Chain A
Amino acid sequence: MKTIDGRGLEPPKPFELVMEGIADLESGDSIKLLLDRMPWPLFRVLDRDGYRHNETIREDGVVEIEITAP
Chain B
Amino acid sequence: MMPAGAALGYDATPPISAPLRYFLTAPFFGMLAGLLLLISPDVLVSRWTPGALALTHLATLGFMVMVMVGALFQILPVVCGAAIPMAGRIALAVHLLLVGGTVALATGLYKMSPPILTVAAALLGMALSVFLLSAMIGLSKVGSGTGSQRDVRLALIGLGVAALLGLSLALTRAQGLPLPMFSMLQLHLGWALLGGAGLLLAATSWIVVPMFQITPSYPRAMIRFWALSCTGALTLWSISVLLEWKILSLILLGLIVALTALFLFTTLVVIGKTRRSHPDASYRLFRLGIWSLIAGLVCLLSTLVSDAPMLRILAGVLIIYGGFVSVIEAMLYKIVPFLAWLHLTQSGIKAPNVRQLQPEDGTRKQLRIHTVALVILLMAVLLGNDWLTRLAGAAIVIEFGWLFFNMHGVLSAYRKTRTDSPARRYSSAA
Contact = CB atoms under 8 A, between A and B. Distances in A.
Interface of A: 8-12, 15-16, 19-20, 22-23, 36-38, 40-41, 43-45, 47-49, 53, 55-59, 61, 63
Contacts, number: 74
12 contacts: A8-B275, A12-B342, A23-B427, A36-B210, A37-B207, A37-B211, A41-B13, A43-B10, A44-B346, A45-B426, A47-B10, A53-B5
Contacts of A58: 1
A59 B427 contact: no
Given A8-B214, A41-B342, A43-B10, A55 B5 contact: yes
Nearest to B338: A11
Interface centre among A9, A41, A53 (most CB of B within 10 A): A41
Nearest to A64: B1
B8 A43 contact: yes
Given A38-B4, A41-B342, A49 B425 contact: yes
Contacts of B79: 40
B338 A12 contact: yes
Contacts of A8: 214, 275
Interface of B: 1-5, 8, 10, 13, 77-79, 81, 146, 207, 210-212, 214, 217, 220, 275, 338, 341-342, 345-346, 354, 425-428, 430
Contact of B427 (A22, A44, A47): A22
A47 B9 CA distance: 12
A11 B217 contact: no
A63 B210 CA distance: 14
A36 B1 contact: no
Give the 10 A-B residue pairs with the shortest CB-CB distance, closest first.
A44-B10, A55-B5, A23-B427, A20-B430, A23-B430, A40-B81, A56-B1, A19-B430, A57-B4, A19-B426
Given A22-B427, A23-B430, A10 B211 contact: yes
Contacts of B10: 43-44, 47
B211 A56 contact: no
A29 to B, nearest CB: 14
A12 B350 CA distance: 13
Nearest to A47: B10
A41 B78 contact: yes
Interface centre among B2, B13, B341, B342 (most CB of A within 10 A): B342
